[in-house]
Chain A
Amino acid sequence: MIGVILIMWMLCNQYPCLVMYDIFKKTSGEFLGKTLIVCYAVYFMLQGSYILARYGHIVGSWVLERTPHWIIISLMVAVSAYLVKDTLQSLARFYVLVTPLLIILLFLSTYSLKDANFLYILPIGSAGALNIFKGSKEAIFSMLGFDFIFFIFPFVNGSSKQKLKAVIMAHIFVTLFYTYLVFISLVYFMSPVDINLTPEPFIYMIKAYSFHVIERMDLFFISIWIISVATSFMYLLLLSSKGLANLFRLEHTRFLPLICVITLIVSIWFMHIDKLNVINKYLTACHYVFQLFIPALLLAVSFITKRRASVRHEAK
């Protein structure tokens, strides 16, 4: 994971004042760069649709069972588009604003420790290191996402080292947070029978809480979680629209309606075919390609071209 971050960072460091999309063009030539941009935009859109479909599925099965999915999803798209159409700065402000909501999550999960059974996680490592590695491979990319900061690298204040530090810190935090949640879910539920029966163990777990003034914490949790979903959908929306904008040298807001409609339709289709796990598998492969191989390739290319340029420079 850290490797992915490092590759992205080094690539950006080569061209500190260029947007990622411009780097594509610079390193791989005009035509190839443009195809890459389109690919990335499509990749972001796909990921966005997947997130939408997941969200629609969870809201549909937990809270609004009879509301048609397209309403839930299109509301999310509309709301996100409203925020994305403005500046990057206001988006960043919004993200900072909603970060404290994580504290509520933390509190809710910690509360469940009161009827936890720590024996459920023991013995650790019984499945063998290989299985653990295989399992983590699936999960690793759900933690990725902060490296997209490199797509907006030049807009961020601070030296490139600071940026790297921020990204790594964010990753470590998120990893720890996820580990904590998984740990809590495991401790609360019986492994492996019970946890296999519940696809969303965390929500299930907080459903039974009673705080004397309020019950059904899962409803509140999902309402708050919608905001987090919106943030992750928003950045995907932003990046894909920026990509297209970069392609045609136009304002990114021009492409927003188009992208919104596409993601909306694709996500409804995803929900319709009802095979989110299969889609997730394909997406995982995409993650490898787009987050690991292509940046690594570009990095290599940029090293070679730079060296060649410097050699030529010396020759002169």
Chain B
Amino acid sequence: MKRNKCLIIMLSFSLISTGCWDQHLMKNVTLIQALTYDLTNKQLLCVGAAAPVIGNLHSKNSSSKSDILVTTARTPGEAKIILNHMASGVLDTAKNKLLLLGEAFAAQDIYPFLDLHYRNPRNSLNARVAVVKDKALPLIQLKNDREEHISRYLLDLIQSAEESLIIPEENIQSIASVLLDPGEDITLPFIVVEENKHKAFVKGIALFNDRKYTGYHLNHNQSTLYLLLKKGSPQQNSFIITLDNVTKNYPERFVSFTVKHIKRKIKLHKSTHNQIYVSIDMNLKLQITEYPKGDVENDSSILKEKLSAALTTLTEEVLSHLKESNCDALGIGRKLMAFQPEVWSQLNKEDYFKKVHFKTSITIDGIKSGIVK
């Protein structure tokens, strides 16, 4: 009994006196909430980090803003070391929410630069990744009146765009598998800074080929359609489509709608190593949100016809964009690997996507008119 007591006392003593190696006090930490990677003219990495400045607790209306640290370095790891010397506390990227890549940076192989994020257990893996037109750094230097922290503002921007099905939900973790997969390519949100308005603007989806940004991006309508194709489950979404160009009354030329229900099938047909045949079938149910001409029910058969034609051309646009950029975002290669491995093994892994022939057919099953006719 006495020996036990001694042991317990010794153990607890040793724990208390020598413990806390891993203590990592939150109050001593400078939290990085957004990171930008850019490429300088000298092919060096320019890293920008937004760390929110913690205001005094009691003065509520002190405008706490973000502190922007910028440095150039050869790798993200080196940049982190340099930034750590600049920051007031220990730099911590555990709560990083955003990783913004400048256009020039994204155009090179991005995977080696992400290694830092995958290797360290403390790094956050669910930071959103996005490509920014031109340079990424100005984006976190934006001055915004309403949101206190720029990272919060940007994250809200991205999340709302995700919800309205304009951009895919991608974070550092989820792109990893796809980056490494020869049979599938990633797509990332594409953001533009509007210089004079001090606002950021989600432009669409940036297309990647293998691990490089191709310079192509999809616009709103195309992105939404692409995401419908890819995910197959409609969330909030909206399209606006020109019905015809001849109607005199200008607003009546257009119709806008949301997709309520979608049944889609991307089917891989028997292929050879030269020709890959894929058919895309979509059955949609729509809800008209704007139809200035009025009386949807009356026009429903014409609408169905016209809209399916318009959507088909839109799909073809999307597919041709994908093909031009050689971005296999739909994972056709993965499907080949799974179902026709013998075809896949003969294919050139680099540009197989150019050999894919798509056949799209879109049918509209129903149109709802909303609460008026």
Q: What is A's interface to B at a CB cutoff of 8 Å?
A: 61-68, 71, 78, 115, 117, 119-120, 122-123, 126, 188-190, 193-194, 197, 207-210, 215, 218
Q: Shortest Cβ distance from B196 into chain A, in angstroms?
A: 36
A119 near B126 (CB under 8 angstroms)?
no
The 6 A-B pairs at the shortest CB distance, nearest first, are namely A122-B338, A208-B173, A190-B177, A208-B125, A66-B21, A67-B21
B121 near A62 (CB under 8 angstroms)?
yes
Q: Which of chain B's residues has its CB closest to A190's CB?
A: B177
Residues of A within 8 A of B125 (CB): 207-208
Assuming the contacts A64-B21, A66-B21, A190-B181, asked whether A119 and B174 have C-beta atoms less than 8 A apart, the reply is: no
Residues of A within 8 A of B11 (CB): 78
Q: Shortest Cβ distance from A111 into chain B, in angstroms?
A: 14
Residues of B within 8 A of A119 (CB): 331, 334-335, 337-338
Describe B's contact surface by its main secondary structure.
Answer: helix
A208 near B126 (CB under 8 angstroms)?
yes
What would be 29 A-B contacts, judged by CB atoms less than 8 Å apart?
A: A62-B121, A63-B22, A63-B121, A64-B21, A64-B22, A65-B22, A66-B21, A71-B19, A78-B11, A115-B174, A117-B331, A117-B334, A119-B331, A119-B334, A119-B337, A122-B338, A123-B338, A123-B339, A123-B341, A126-B341, A190-B177, A190-B178, A193-B180, A194-B176, A194-B177, A194-B181, A197-B118, A207-B121, A208-B125
Residues of B within 8 A of A115 (CB): 174
In B328-373, the 8 Å CB interface with A consists of: 331, 334-335, 337-339, 341
Q: Is B72 in contact with chain A by the CB < 8 A criterion?
A: no
Task: Name A207's contact: one of B173, B178, B337 (CB within 8 Å).
Answer: B173
Q: Shortest Cβ distance from B234 into chain A, in angstroms?
A: 17
| Interface residue range, chain B | 20 to 34
B176 near A61 (CB under 8 angstroms)?
no
Interface string of B10-48 (1 = CB under 8 A from A): 010001001101100000000000000000000000000
Q: What is B's interface to A at a CB cutoff of 8 Å?
A: 11, 15, 18-19, 21-22, 118, 121, 125-126, 171-174, 176-178, 180-181, 331, 334-335, 337-339, 341
Q: Shortest Cβ distance from A167 into chain B, in angstroms?
A: 35
Assuming the contacts A67-B22, A208-B173, A210-B126, asked whether A194 and B341 have C-beta atoms less than 8 A apart, the reply is: no
Residues of B within 8 A of A193 (CB): 180-181
Tell me the bound Cα distance from A188 to B176 in angstroms: 11
Tell me the bound Cα distance from A236 to B73 in angstroms: 51
Residues of A within 8 A of B178 (CB): 190
Assuming the contacts A119-B331, A119-B334, A119-B335, asked whether A188 and B121 have C-beta atoms less than 8 A apart, the reply is: no
Task: Name A208's contact: one of B15, B19, B21, B174 (CB within 8 Å).
Answer: B174
B180 near A208 (CB under 8 angstroms)?
no
Knowing that A63-B121, A197-B180 are A-B contacts, what are 16 other residue pairs whose CB atoms are under 8 Å apart, sorted by A's residue number?
Answer: A62-B121, A63-B22, A66-B22, A71-B15, A71-B18, A71-B19, A117-B177, A119-B335, A122-B338, A122-B339, A123-B337, A126-B341, A189-B177, A190-B178, A193-B180, A218-B121
Q: Looking at A64, A117, A189, which has the most chain B CB atoms within 10 Å of its CB? A: A117
Q: Which of chain A's residues has its CB closest to B331's CB?
A: A119
Tell me the bound Cα distance from A83 to B183 in angstroms: 52
B177 near A188 (CB under 8 angstroms)?
yes
Residues of B within 8 A of A189 (CB): 177
Residues of B within 8 A of A65 (CB): 22, 121
Assuming the contacts A122-B338, A207-B125, A210-B126, asked whether A68 and B174 have C-beta atoms less than 8 A apart, the reply is: no
A68 near B180 (CB under 8 angstroms)?
no
Residues of A within 8 A of B173 (CB): 207-208
Tell me the bound Cα distance from A68 to B337 in angstroms: 45
Residues of B within 8 A of A71 (CB): 15, 18-19
Residues of A within 8 A of B334 (CB): 117, 119-120
Assuming the contacts A117-B334, A122-B338, asked whether A190 and B180 have C-beta atoms less than 8 A apart, the reply is: yes
Q: Which of chain B's residues has its CB closest to A74's CB?
A: B11
Q: Shortest Cβ distance from A279 into chain B, in angstroms?
A: 24
Residues of A within 8 A of B22 (CB): 63-67
Tell me the bound Cα distance from A98 to B314 in angstroms: 56
Tell me the bound Cα distance from A171 to B222 in angstroms: 52
Assuming the contacts A66-B22, A119-B331, A190-B181, asked whether A215 and B126 have C-beta atoms less than 8 A apart, the reply is: yes
Tell me the bound Cα distance from A65 to B21 in angstroms: 8
Q: Looking at B181, B334, B341, which has the most chain A CB atoms within 10 Å of its CB? A: B181
Tell me the bound Cα distance from A209 to B22 in angstroms: 23
A194 near B180 (CB under 8 angstroms)?
yes
Q: Shortest Cβ distance from A135 into chain B, in angstroms?
A: 19
Residues of A within 8 A of B174 (CB): 115, 208
